[in-house]
Structure 1
Amino acid sequence: MTTDTRGPRAGAGILRTALRRNIGAMAWGTVLMGLYQAGETAFPIALGLIVEHTMQDRTLGSLGLSIAALAVIITTVSLSWRFGMRVLQKANTTEAHRWRVRVAACGLQPVARDVDLKSGEVLTIATEDADQTADIIEVVPLLISSLVAVVVAALALGLADVRLGALVILGTVAILSVLSVMSGRIGSSTREQQARVARAGAKVADLITGLRPLHGFGGNHAAFLSYRKVSTEARRQAVTVARVNGAYAGTALALNAVLAGAVTLTAGWLAVEGRISVGELVMAVGLAQFIMEPLKMFAEMPKYVMMARASAERMALVLTAPPVAASGAERPAAGGDLELDGVCHGSLDGLTFRVPAGEFVAVSAYQPRAAADLASVLAVNTPPEAYDGVVRVSGRKIGELSVEAVRAHMLVNPYDGEIFAGTLRTNIDPSGTSRTVPEAVEASMLTDVVALHREGLDHAVRDRGANLSGGQRQRLSLARALAADTDVLVLHDPTTAVDAVTEQLVARNIAKLRRGRTTLVITSSPALLDAADRVLVLDGGAVVAEDSHRNLLATNPDYCHAVAR
C-alpha cells in the first residue's frame, strides 16, 4: 500500500527528470517542429495571397515569384520535419535506454518482501513502460508546435475577419475541454492494462522456470489454465483501453471536422456578404482543411501524456522499491572468518558457530527448512534487522557492510543457480576477468561437457540451460561459483543432481581447490561431509553436534541414520 501511494509522486519525478535531462534536444526539436507547423500554416496563407495578388497583377513574373515562394515553404516544411523528428527520436531512444538500464539495475537488486514485483513484471516495465515514459520527450515539442500552428492560423484568419479568428480559438478551447475529460479515463484504463499485462508476463516467467517440474507431475494443463485466466483478464482490459482510445480518437476527429466545417461555412458566408476577398476565402478554406492536422495532434497529445505518466508510475514501483537491507558503508577485510552468534530466524533457533579463515566446514541440517533459512541469511536475502542475533564476516557485522561488498567478499551459491543464454564460458565467467576458469571447470567435473563439443567452452547454452541436463546445469553453476574465487564461499546443496561417483570427485576437488580459503557447504551429501574439515549438525535450528564426518558416523546414531546411504 505504501508503494502504491508513493508511485504517482515518484512517477511525476521521473517525467520531470526525463524532461530536464533532454531540455536541449527538446528546445531544438520544438524550434524545428514549430517551423514545420508554421510552414504548413503558411502554405494556405500563401495560396490566398497569391490568388489575391495574381488577380491584380497577371504577369509571368508574378507567377514565377509565387511558385518560388511556395517552393521555399515546401522545402522549409520538409527539412524542418526531417531534422526535428531526428533530434526528438534520438533523444527519445537514448532516454528510453537510460530508464531500461536503471530499471534493470534495480531489478537485479533484492527488494523488501512486501513489494509484490515478479521478474516478468520487471521485464515488462523495463521495456514497454520505459519506452512509453520516454515518449514524453516527443510529446511536449509536438504539443507546443501544434499550438503554434493553431495560433498562427487563428491570427491569419483574424486578420481577414475577427469572427474567423475567434471561431478557431473558441473551437479549440471547447475541443480540448471535452478531450481533457476523456484523457483521464484513458490514463486510469492504461494503468490497469499495464498492470495486467505485467502480471501475465510474470506468470509466463514463472511457468517457464517451473516447466520441467510441471512436466514431471503432469501439471501442464493446470498451468495452462492459470495462465489463460491471467491472459484473458489482460485481453479484456486491452479491449477496454482500445474502446476508450477509439472513442477518444473518434470524438477528436468529429469535433475537428465540425470546427473545420464551421470555419469554411463562415468564410463562405463572409465572402458572399463581401466582407472578405476571394483570396482571403481561399486562405480560410485552406486553413480550415489544414487546421485539422495540428488540432488532431494537439488533441492526441494529452492521451500520450497520460500514458507516459502511467508508465512512469509503473517504473517508480521498481525504482523506489525499498532494498532488502539498509546498506552500510564499510568493507570486510581480506580473508577473514565467518561467524553466526545467536541467530534466530524462521526455523533457526539461536544458531551459533564460527568458521575460521581457511577452514572447510560442512553443515548437515536435519530439517531442509533450516538449511534454506541459513542460506537466506548468509546471502543477505533476509535483512539483518529481520532476525535476532548477529552475522559477522571478517569480524565485522554484516549490517555494517554494503551489500555489494558482502557479495564481493562472500559468495552464496544457491542449489538452483540460474543458467543464462550464452556459452559455457560466459556462464562460468560472466565478467571475463576470472583467472581460475580451467581449475573451476576441472573441480566441478564439467570437463566431460566441454570435451563433448567441438567448440569447448564456447559451446552455446540456451536460455535457462535448456540444452543441458540437470546434472550439467548444476555443475555449470558450481563452476561459476568456484571461478569467482571469493574469500568466503557458501555452497547450498551443490551436488543433488550429480551421480555418486561424480559427487565423490567433485567433493575432493572442491576441498583441494578451496584449500586455505574459507568454505561452508550446506549439504546432506556424504561425500562432501567427508571432505570437510569438520561437520556441524543442525537439529531444531541449532548446532547439536560437531566433529568430523567419520567420527560422527561412529558415535552419533541420529547422524548416521540421517546421512548414511
Structure 2
Amino acid sequence: MQISDLPHPDPGVPDARSGPRFLLWLGRTQLGGQAKSLCWGLVHHCAIAGLPFAVGLGVEAAVDGDGHRLLLVGALIALLGVAISLGDTMLHRTSVTNWITAAARVQQLLARKTADLGSALTRRVAAGEVVSVSTGDVEKVGWFVEAVSRFLAAAVAIIVVCVALVVYAPSLGVVVAVGMPLLALSSLPLLPRATQRADIQREKAGKATELASDTVAGLRVLRGIGGEELFLGRYREASQEVRTAAVRSARMWALISAVQVFLPGVLLITVVWYGSSLVLDRRLAVGELVAVFSAVSLLLYPLRSVEEIAMAYSFSRPSATRAARVLRLTRDEAPEPAGAVDAVRAPAPGGDLYDPRTGLLVPAGRFTAVVCGDPDLAGRLAERLGGHPPGDGEGAGDRAPVLLGGVALDELALETARALVLVQDKDPVLLSGTLRELFDVPASGAVTPAAALAAAQCGDVLEAVLQAAPEGVQDPMDARITERGRSLSGGQRQRLALARSLVADPEVLVLDEPTSAVDSHTEARIADGIAALRAGRTTVVLTSSPLVLDRADRVVLVHEGVALPAGSHRDLLREEPRYRAVVTRETDEEQRLDGLPLTALDEGITGRLEEELTEIEGSA
C-alpha cells in the first residue's frame, strides 16, 4: 500500500489480546510492505558489505601491478556505490511508508472504537490516556513496525558477511564470525533494566498528560474557584517526576550505547593485532587483512539496527499494550443469550420506552421528567436509556436491556439504536467549526436549526459568536466556534448542544440536566421551548429543576434505584415527601417530618414554590 492510498478501506479486526500480539498482527497486515523494505535493505547492506572485498581485490591488484584487474575493481566499486545509494533511498522510502501505514491503521482502529463506544469510552479509560494512546503511542507502534524490516535486512547482511569472511580468510574470518554475535547480544542483559525504567518514564508521562488534559478541559471552572495554583503545583510535581524518570532511563540507554561502542572497538583491535601477526607469518595477504578490517568496520553500521530494534520494541510494547487495552473494550460485555438471532425486528414507531432495571416507563409521545436524588444514578440511567452498556461497577442484574416498543435496544444495530434514541449528557462536546457545520447532523428534517436555536434560547449566543467572527461574516451560522466551544460560557455551550439535539429530532430524546448552567428565567423559556418543539415526540429530561418539572406532562421519581408512580410536579410536591425532599432540598430536620401528615411547614414550602413558578411564568 502507498501513502496516497490511505486511509485504509478497512483497518481489519485486530488481535488485541496483548501488546506483543497486537504488534505481530500489525506486522502481518502489511507483509508486502515489509518484504519490499527487506529487499531494499538487503541491497543496501550487502552493497556496503561488498565494499571491503572490492577494496581488498583492488589492493591485491595494485600490489601485483595488474592494471586491467584494477579497472574492473574500480567498476565494481562504482556499481556498489550506485547500489548503496539506490538501496538507501528506497529503504528509507519503504520504511517510512510502513511506519505511516501502521500508524494510520492504529489511528483508524482507535477512531472506530471511539465511535463505537461513544461516551462509554471515557467511563472506562481516562480521557488523558485516550489522548496519549492516539498520539504518542501510535507513533511508537509505527516505529517498531518500521524498524523490523531494517533489522532483518541488517541481520541477514551480518550473517552473509560473516560467512563470506570465513570463506575468504578462514583464519581471521572465524574470529569475526564468533565476535559479531557476541557484539549483537552484548546489550541483552541490560535491556530488562532499561525497559523497566522506560516503562516507568512512560507511565509518569502518561499521568502528566492526563493531568494536563483534564486541567485544560476544566480551566474555566478552575479559574472560577481560584484553583489554578493548586493544579499548577500538581503539574509541576508530575513534570519533575517525569524528568527524573527520563534521566534514569537515559542513563541505561547511554550505558547500552557505550557497550556497543566499546566492544566493537575491542573486536577491531583484536582483528588488527591477530591479522598483523598472520601477515607477518605470511599466512594472510595484506589485501585480505585490509578487506577483513574494512568489513568489520562497516559491520558496525548494521549493528546499530540491533540497538534500534531493542529500543523500538522497548518503547512500543507498552504503547501497544495500552492501545490493545482500548481496542479490547466492547460496547456490551454481557454474553449473548442462547439462541440469539442475527436479525432483530425494528421497534414499531411510537413505542413506549421501558427500563426493567428501575421500572421506569416513558409513554410514547409524552414529555416525561425524571427526578433522581443521586446525580450519578441519573447519569447512569440516561446512558442506559440510550442503550449504552452498564458501567464496570454495576452488577449482572443491571444488564437487563432497555426496551423500545418491546424490542431490546442492545439487540439492534448500533446505527439503528442511535437513530432511534439520542442521549445528551451533562457535558456535551462541541467540535470546532462553523455553527452551520455544528448542526449538520443526521436528522429527520422536521426541525430547522432556526427553530431549534429559538427553542433553546440561543439568541445571545448567536450575537456573541457573530461579534467574535472575522470582519465580513454577516450570518452567525457562518461564524466559527473554537474546539469544545471554549470561547463560550458553560450556559452558552449547553444551549448550543441542546439546539443540536433538537435539530436531530430523534424518536426518543434523553436530556440529562440540559438547563443546569442557565438562569431561572432562561430555564423556564427553554422548558417551554422543548415542550412545544417536541410535542408528540418522546422526550425524557433528567432534572430536579422545578421550572422544568412543572412543564413536563408527567414526572417520575427514581428513589433508591426504583421508579415510583408518576404524577404531575405539583401533585407530587403535595403527596410525595421523598420527591419534595429532592426538589426543595429540605434540611435534615425538615426531612425528619416527611413521614408525618401534611403540615404548615409542608404547605409553606409548596406554596412558596408555586408562587415562584407563577412569578417566573409571568415574567417569561
TM-score (norm: length of structure 1): 0.88
Q: How far apart are residue 313 of structure 1 and its match?
A: 1.8
Which amino acid in 2 is paired with 1:302? A
Other-structure match for 1:335: 349
Please say if residues 114 and 121 of structure 2, whose CA atoms lie closer than 8 Å, have aligned partners that are also in contact: no
Which amino acid in 1 is paired with 2:450? P
Other-structure match for 1:444: 456
1:280 aligned counterpart, secondary structure: helix
Q: How far apart are residue 309 of structure 1 and its match?
A: 2.5
Note if 1:92 corresponds to 2:92. Answer: no
C-alpha offsets along residues 108-144 of structure 1, whole Å, 9 cap, x if unaligned? Answer: 5269899963111121122222222222333222222
Other-structure match for 1:213: 221
Other-structure match for 1:420: 431
Within 1, Cα distance between the matches of 2:307 and 2:426? 55
Please say if residues 424 and 476 of structure 1, whose CA atoms lie closer than 8 Å, have aligned partners that are also in contact: no
Q: Match for 1:167 among 168, 172, 175?
A: 175
The unaligned stretches of length 5 or more in structure 1 are: 1-6, 344-350
Which amino acid in 1 is paired with 2:234? S
Matches within 5 A, 1:412-491: 412-429=423-440, 436-452=448-464, 453=466, 454=473, 456-491=476-511
1:420 aligned counterpart, secondary structure: coil
Q: How far apart are residue 482 of structure 1 and its match?
A: 1.3
Which amino acid in 2 is paired with 1:520? V
Identity of aligned residues (%): 32
Please say if residues 391 and 397 of structure 1, whose CA atoms lie closer than 8 Å, have aligned partners that are also in contact: yes
C-alpha offsets along residues 211-267 of structure 1, whole Å, 9 cap, x if unaligned? Answer: 222222222222223233333332222222211111111111111221122222222
CA RMSD of aligned residues (A): 3.1
Q: How far apart are residue 39 of structure 1 and its match?
A: 0.5
Which amino acid in 1 is paired with 2:107? R
Q: How far apart are residue 177 of structure 1 and its match?
A: 3.0
Within 1, Cα distance between the matches of 2:93 and 2:272? 35
Note if 1:509 corresponds to 2:529. Answer: yes
Please say if residues 355 and 401 of structure 2, whose CA atoms lie closer than 8 Å, have aligned partners that are also in contact: yes
2:402 aligned counterpart, secondary structure: strand
Please say if residues 340 and 390 of structure 1, whose CA atoms lie closer than 8 Å, have aligned partners that are also in contact: no
Please say if residues 143 and 316 of structure 2, whose CA atoms lie closer than 8 Å, have aligned partners that are also in contact: yes
Other-structure match for 2:417: 406
Within 2, Cα distance between the matches of 1:218 and 1:475? 26
User: How many pairs are equivalent?
Assistant: 551
Please say if residues 331 and 402 of structure 1, whose CA atoms lie closer than 8 Å, have aligned partners that are also in contact: no
C-alpha offsets along residues 3-31 of structure 1, whole Å, 9 cap, x if unaligned? Answer: xxxx9952121111111111111111111
C-alpha offsets along residues 323-380 of structure 1, whole Å, 9 cap, x if unaligned? Answer: 454386646425333444553xxxxxxx434222211222244554553443243243
Which amino acid in 1 is paired with 2:75? A
C-alpha offsets along residues 176-232 of structure 1, whole Å, 9 cap, x if unaligned? Answer: 332122222233332332222212211112222222222222222222232333333
The alpha-carbon distance between structure 1 residues 334 and 446, as it changes in their structure 2 partners (threshold 3 A), is: farther
Note if 1:318 corresponds to 2:329. Answer: no
2:279 aligned counterpart, secondary structure: helix
Q: Which moved more, 1:16-25 or 1:201-210?
A: 201-210
Q: Which moved more, 1:532-541 or 1:123-132?
A: 532-541
Q: Match for 1:547 among 541, 564, 567?
A: 567
Other-structure match for 1:277: 285
1:546 aligned counterpart, secondary structure: coil
Please say if residues 112 and 321 of structure 1, whose CA atoms lie closer than 8 Å, have aligned partners that are also in contact: no
1:84 aligned counterpart, secondary structure: helix
Please say if residues 61 and 70 of structure 2, whose CA atoms lie closer than 8 Å, have aligned partners that are also in contact: no
1:489 aligned counterpart, secondary structure: strand
Other-structure match for 1:3: none
Note if 1:102 corresponds to 2:109. Answer: yes
Q: Match for 1:378 among 381, 385, 401?
A: 385
Please say if residues 193 and 237 of structure 1, whose CA atoms lie closer than 8 Å, have aligned partners that are also in contact: yes
C-alpha offsets along residues 74-99 of structure 1, whole Å, 9 cap, x if unaligned? Answer: 01110111112211211221111111
Within 2, Cα distance between the matches of 1:73 and 1:433? 67
Q: Which moved more, 1:36-45 or 1:363-372?
A: 363-372
C-alpha offsets along residues 55-77 of structure 1, whole Å, 9 cap, x if unaligned? Answer: 33454x55544332221110111
1:468 aligned counterpart, secondary structure: coil
Please say if residues 354 and 404 of structure 2, whose CA atoms lie closer than 8 Å, have aligned partners that are also in contact: no
Within 2, Cα distance between the matches of 1:400 and 1:432? 23
Within 2, Cα distance between the matches of 1:325 and 1:431? 28
Matches within 5 A, 1:217-232: 217-232=225-240
Q: Which moved more, 1:496-505 or 1:331-340?
A: 331-340
Q: Which moved more, 1:490-499 or 1:62-71?
A: 62-71
Please say if residues 29 and 87 of structure 1, whose CA atoms lie closer than 8 Å, have aligned partners that are also in contact: yes
1:531 aligned counterpart, secondary structure: coil
**Larger RCO: 1 or 2 (CA < 8 Å, sep 6+):** 1
Within 2, Cα distance between the matches of 1:332 and 1:209? 39
Q: Match for 2:57 among 49, 53, 56?
A: 49
Please say if residues 438 and 500 of structure 2, whose CA atoms lie closer than 8 Å, have aligned partners that are also in contact: yes
2:491 aligned counterpart, secondary structure: helix
Q: Match for 2:554 among 509, 524, 534?
A: 534
Q: Which moved more, 1:39-48 or 1:440-449?
A: 440-449
The alpha-carbon distance between structure 1 residues 378 and 29, as it changes in their structure 2 partners (threshold 3 A), is: same
Q: Which moved more, 1:301-310 or 1:163-172?
A: 301-310
2:186 aligned counterpart, secondary structure: helix
Within 1, Cα distance between the matches of 2:372 and 2:131? 36
The alpha-carbon distance between structure 1 residues 323 and 370, as it changes in their structure 2 partners (threshold 3 A), is: closer
Q: How far apart are residue 387 of structure 1 and its match?
A: 2.2
